[in-house]
A and B are shown apart, each in its own frame.
Chain A
Amino acid sequence: MTHLISDGETATGRDQDGVTAVRGRRRSIGTVLARWASDGWRPLLALLFLLFIWWLITAIELAPPYLVPSPQETWRTIVENPGYLWDNTVVTAYETLAAFVLSVVFGLLAAVAMVYSRTVEKTAYPLLVLAQVVPKIALAPLFVVWLGFGLTPKILIALLIAFFPVVVSGYVGLRSIDPEMLDLASTMGAGPIQKFLRFRFPASLPHLFSGLKVAVTLAVTGAVVGEFVGSNKGLGNVILEANGNVNTALLFAALIVLSALGVVLFLLVELIERLVMPWHTTVREASVTTTS
Chain B
Amino acid sequence: MQKQPPLSSAVSIDGVGVQFRTKRADVTALDNVTVDVREREFVSIVGPSGCGKSTLLKLVAGLVRPTSGSITLRGEPVTSPRSDIGFVFQKAALLEWRTVRRNITLQGEMRRMPKAEIARRTAELIEMTGLAGFEDAMPHELSGGMQQRVSLCRALLHQPPVLLMDEPFGALDALTREQMNSELHRIWQETRTTVLLVTHSVAEAVYLSERVLVMSRRPGRVLEVLPVELPDRNDYSKAMASAEFGARTARIRELLGARTAHD
Are A and B genuine complex partners?
yes
Binding site for B on A (CB under 8 A): 2-7, 11, 14-15, 17-18, 20-22, 24-25, 178, 180-181, 183-190, 194, 198-199, 202-203, 205, 277, 279-281, 284
Rank and list the top 5 A-B pairs by shortest CB-CB distance, nearest first: A189-B83, A14-B133, A186-B81, A188-B110, A21-B137
Residue of A18, A277, A279 with highest tally of chain B CB at under 10 A: A279
A7 to B182, CA, bound (A): 14
A7 to B144, CA, bound (A): 9
Q: Is B91 an interface residue (CB 8 A)?
A: yes
On whether the beta carbons of B141 and A187 are closer than 8 Å, the reply is no
Looking at chain A's contact residues, the main secondary structure is helix
On whether the beta carbons of B93 and A25 are closer than 8 Å, the reply is no
On whether the beta carbons of A24 and B138 are closer than 8 Å, the reply is yes
Looking at chain B's contact residues, the main secondary structure is loop
On whether the beta carbons of A181 and B133 are closer than 8 Å, the reply is no
User: In the assembled complex, which residues on chain B have CB atoms less than 8 Å from the CB atom of A17?
Assistant: 133-134, 137, 141
Binding site for A on B (CB under 8 A): 58, 61-63, 81-83, 85-87, 89, 91, 93, 95-97, 99, 106-107, 110-111, 132-134, 136-138, 140-143, 145-146, 176, 179
Contact of B138 among A7, A25, A189, A190 (CB under 8 A): A25
User: In the assembled complex, which residues on chain B have CB atoms less than 8 Å from the CB atom of A183?
Assistant: 58, 61, 63, 87, 89
**Shortest CB distance A178–B (Å):** 7
Contact of B91 among A7, A180, A189 (CB under 8 A): A180
User: In the assembled complex, which residues on chain B have CB atoms less than 8 Å from the CB atom of A2?
Assistant: 140-141
On whether the beta carbons of A21 and B93 are closer than 8 Å, the reply is no
Residue of B93, B176, B179 with highest tally of chain A CB at under 10 A: B93
User: In the assembled complex, which residues on chain A have CB atoms less than 8 Å from the CB atom of B87?
Assistant: 183-184, 187
User: In the assembled complex, which residues on chain B have CB atoms less than 8 Å from the CB atom of A202?
Assistant: 95, 97
On whether the beta carbons of B134 and A7 are closer than 8 Å, the reply is no
On whether the beta carbons of A4 and B141 are closer than 8 Å, the reply is yes
On whether the beta carbons of A187 and B61 are closer than 8 Å, the reply is yes
User: In the assembled complex, which residues on chain A have CB atoms less than 8 Å from the CB atom of B111?
Assistant: 188-189
On whether the beta carbons of A279 and B134 are closer than 8 Å, the reply is no
Contact of A14 among B85, B96, B97, B134 (CB under 8 A): B134
In the complex, residue of chain A having the shortest beta-carbon distance to the beta carbon of B111: A189
User: In the assembled complex, which residues on chain B have CB atoms less than 8 Å from the CB atom of A181?
Assistant: 93, 95
Contact of A184 among B82, B93, B99, B143 (CB under 8 A): B93
On whether the beta carbons of B110 and A189 are closer than 8 Å, the reply is yes
On whether the beta carbons of A21 and B110 are closer than 8 Å, the reply is no
A181 to B96, CA, bound (A): 11
On whether the beta carbons of B141 and A24 are closer than 8 Å, the reply is yes
With contacts A178-B91, A180-B93, A187-B86 taken as known, whether A22 is within 8 angstroms of B141 at the C-beta atoms is no
User: In the assembled complex, which residues on chain A have CB atoms less than 8 Å from the CB atom of B132?
Assistant: 14
11 contacts between A and B (CB under 8 A): A4-B143, A17-B133, A18-B137, A21-B141, A22-B136, A180-B89, A185-B110, A187-B81, A199-B95, A203-B95, A279-B140
User: In the assembled complex, which residues on chain A have CB atoms less than 8 Å from the CB atom of B143?
Assistant: 4-7
User: In the assembled complex, which residues on chain B have CB atoms less than 8 Å from the CB atom of A187?
Assistant: 61, 63, 81-83, 85-87
User: In the assembled complex, which residues on chain A have CB atoms less than 8 Å from the CB atom of B134?
Assistant: 5, 14, 17-18, 21
User: In the assembled complex, which residues on chain B have CB atoms less than 8 Å from the CB atom of A280?
Assistant: 96-97
With contacts A7-B146, A7-B176 taken as known, whether A188 is within 8 angstroms of B106 at the C-beta atoms is yes
